[in-house]
């Protein structure tokens, strides 16, 4: 029996090596201009957009349950709100999804936040202020989330802790200009990227909060030095509570003044370094960024996709096979990602990184905690954890293709103790990886699931 298991393991290890890496077009069934994409796992994802001709018929919400092989239109036209654009989307699980929407046609503008709890079959309009312009939204779980936007040209953040049933107004009001993206690492630490149009000085910014949005401070400022230009930070993404990246553009600048920036932080957004200043006019505007680890990430820009494998010290163009503008990008792991853009374009990235390469890159090894795992039986995984302190450890479960299956946090005690982790009920037999992660380091172990 042991020899048979070894042969099976070798067979599984050979599978990732023959997967072709690259981007391919997925049929979306729409010609609308797609603005955002958000995936929960390798199968479940959402795409939103519209406003191709400022026509309510262009507003669209798409959902997939098979990794994008098929996309279903779940747009709630029955609400009769006249929505012409769904701008941003955030989905904490495969059933719950939040989307920001706007109606800018006709008399006056109206703005909405929509929610589904049944995978898009039905939608409700949340009681958020309709006079605000929600340009971005982010939920860290089914109940707690934030939306960033504008009120009378001033930045505003709304916060909910009850799934959108009620909202608290947060934000800053010392200048004009709207947010473009919002991202939260946890319930306390969050970031907003955007820009101002104050005269005479315009600036791009990253705002940071460490108290759940109750107060904000400027952690990165990009001030314009050329008249009639305005910097705008367009994307921000963190892989943990310390390491993050953001991108932006200098609008209105041409020729020798053309400029785009990629910045990074290693201290939770307190300080930012400019890792790339791009002056090549052949590079399209940078719209969104996603990093899967400290070295590997992607940025969508125009019809191009920038790809780095060394933390943006250098980068190259990925072949996208499209020329239309790409507006959003999202990855669930190093081998599975999606991009969305104008004209109904949805692209799927399929990688060929081995499991060992992926986990070594994604999780920083450390000596603070030690993890020993044993064979799992009946959905129970015995493990021994040695930790110098009591606290919370976040566990993530990956399959042999480095695809995340589930994650959860657990309180552990100091010293060396045995714990029993409950695995998903429908987990098939095979080889898996358990990653135990603290605030500043993690360790990964392989185990076998036996039925």
Predicted pLDDT at 51: 74
Would you place residue 376 in the very low, low, confident or very high pLDDT band (cuts 50, 70, 90)?
A: confident
* Residue range 100-156, pLDDT digits in tens: 998 866 555 778 999 999 999 999 999 876 556 778 999 999 999 999 987 766 778
Which domains are delineated in the chain? Answer: 20-355 (2.130.10.10), 356-450 (2.60.40.2550)
Predicted pLDDT at 201: 61
Please report, for residues 49, 96, 132, 261, the alpha-carbon distance to residue 35 in angstroms, rounded to integers and kept in the order given.
5, 19, 19, 21
C-alpha dihedral over 79, 89, 299, 319, to 10 degrees? -50
Average pLDDT score over the chain: 83
Distance CA(183)–CA(283), nearest Å, equals: 25
Answer for the pair 350, 319: CB distance below 8 angstroms, yes or no: no
Answer for the pair 421, 380: CB distance below 8 angstroms, yes or no: yes
Would you place residue 17 in the very low, low, confident or very high pLDDT band (cuts 50, 70, 90)?
A: very low
C-alpha dihedral over 30, 36, 39, 42, to 10 degrees? 50
Q: Is 77 helix (H, G, I), strand (E, B) or coil?
A: helix
Predicted pLDDT at 19: 36
Which of 284 and 48 is assigned the larger pLDDT? 48
Whole-structure pTM value: 0.75
Would you place residue 173 in the very low, low, confident or very high pLDDT band (cuts 50, 70, 90)?
A: low
Is residue 413 pLDDT above 80, yes or no?
no
Predicted pLDDT at 286: 96
Predicted pLDDT at 15: 29
Pairing of strands 404-412, 326-333: unpaired
Of the candidates 314, 146, 224, the residue with the CA atom closest to the CA atom of residue 233: 224
Predicted pLDDT at 30: 94
Least confidently predicted of 105-109, 144-148, 204-208, 273-277: 105-109
């Amino acid at each position: 029996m042991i020899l048979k298991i070894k042969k099976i393991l070798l067979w599984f290890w050979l599978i990732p090596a023959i997967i072709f890496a690259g981007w391919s077009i997925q049929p979306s069934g729409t010609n609308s201009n797609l603005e955002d994409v958000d995936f929960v796992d390798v199968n479940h994802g959402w795409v939103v957009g519209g406003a191709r001709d400022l026509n309510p018929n262009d507003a669209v919400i798409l959902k997939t349950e098979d990794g994008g092989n098929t996309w279903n239109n779940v747009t709630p036209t029955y609400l009769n709100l006249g929505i012409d654009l769904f701008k941003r989307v955030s989905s904490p699980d495969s059933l719950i999804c939040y989307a920001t929407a706007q109606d800018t046609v006709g008399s006056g503008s109206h703005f909405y936040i929509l929610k589904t709890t049944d995978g898009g079959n039905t939608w409700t309009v949340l009681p958020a202020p309709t006079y605000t312009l929600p340009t971005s939204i982010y939920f860290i779980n089914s109940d707690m989330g934030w939306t960033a936007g504008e009120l009378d040209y001033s930045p505003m953040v709304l916060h909910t802790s009850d799934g959108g049933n009620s909202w608290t107004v947060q934000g800053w009001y010392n200048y004009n200009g709207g947010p473009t993206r919002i991202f939260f690492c946890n319930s306390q630490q969050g970031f907003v990227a955007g820009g101002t149009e104050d005269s005479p000085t315009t600036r791009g910014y990253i705002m940071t909060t460490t108290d759940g949005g109750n107060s904000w401070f400027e952690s990165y400022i990009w001030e314009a030095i050329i008249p009639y230009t305005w910097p705008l930070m367009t994307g921000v993404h963190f892989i943990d509570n310390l390491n993050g990246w953001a991108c932006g553009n200098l609008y209105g600048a041409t020729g020798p003044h053309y400029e785009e920036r990629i910045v990074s932080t290693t201290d939770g957004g307190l300080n930012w370094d400019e890792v790339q200043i791009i002056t090549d006019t052949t590079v399209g505007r940078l719209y969104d960024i996603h990093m899967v680890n400290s070295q590997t990430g992607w940025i969508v820009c125009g019809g191009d996709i920038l790809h780095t494998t060394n933390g943006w010290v250098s980068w190259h163009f990925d072949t996208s096979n499209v020329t239309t503008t790409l507006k959003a990008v999202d990855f669930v792991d190093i081998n599975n990602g999606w991009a969305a853009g104008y004209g109904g374009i949805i692209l799927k990235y399929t990688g060929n990184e081995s499991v060992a390469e992926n986990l070594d890159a994604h999780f920083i090894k450390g000596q603070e905690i030690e993890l020993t795992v044993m064979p799992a039986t009946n959905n129970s995984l015995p493990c021994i954890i040695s930790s110098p302190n009591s606290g919370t450890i976040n566990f993530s479960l990956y399959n042999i293709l480095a695809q995340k299956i589930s994650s959860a946090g657990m309180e552990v005690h100091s010293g060396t103790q045995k714990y029993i982790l409950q695995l998903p009920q429908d987990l098939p037999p095979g080889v898996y990886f358990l990653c135990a992660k603290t605030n500043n380091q993690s360790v990964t172990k392989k185990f076998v699931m036996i039925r």
